[in-house]
Amino acid sequence: QVQLVESGGGSVQPGGSLRLSCAASGIIFSMFTMGWYRQAPGKQRELVAAITSGSSTNYTDSVKGRFTISRDNAKNTVYLQMNSLKPEDTAIYYCNAVFFFRDYWGQGTQVTVSS
């Protein structure tokens, strides 16, 4: 059974930082491209950042220079370090794992940026 379990969400003031974690089980983690998506109220889900099995990364323009995605294959975990958070970063953040036709999602974790 595949499970992706996110943690680390919460409420923070503008300019603050959070670190999201996603622990995976039931997959050969090192083979999967891992991604973080987010969905704000009334908006479509969007890709925030992704990291391939070879640790190549890509980011949506709005988070470049502020967010960093990383992975620890020994711990089957992907991270999203979020710095200089802005109110527009408020959303539910979802972990995603993709390998060819295999596509899995976590349950999401809420991030709220507000003064």
CB 2 within 8 A of CB 25: yes
Q: Quick one: pLDDT at residue 21?
A: 98
Q: State the sign of the Cα–Cα–Cα–Cα dihedral 85, 88, 94, 95.
A: negative
pLDDT in tens, the chain (115 residues): 999 999 999 999 999 999 999 999 999 999 999 999 999 999 999 999 999 999 999 999 999 999 999 999 999 999 999 999 999 999 999 999 999 999 999 999 999 999 9
Q: Extract the tokens encoding 99.
A: 């390998």
Residue 61 and residue 68 in contact, taking contact as beta carbons nearer than 8 Å: no
Rounded to 5°, angle at Cα 55 from 53 and 58: 110
Nearest to 79 by CA among 14, 24, 2: 24
Q: Which two tokens stand for residue 22?
A: 């996603």
Contact 79, 70 (CB under 8 A): yes
Gap between the Cα atoms of 56 and 29, Å rounded: 15
Would you state the torsion angle of the CA atoms of residues 11, 74, 33, 93, taken in this order, to the nearest 10 degrees?
-10
pLDDT given for residue 64 in this prediction? 98
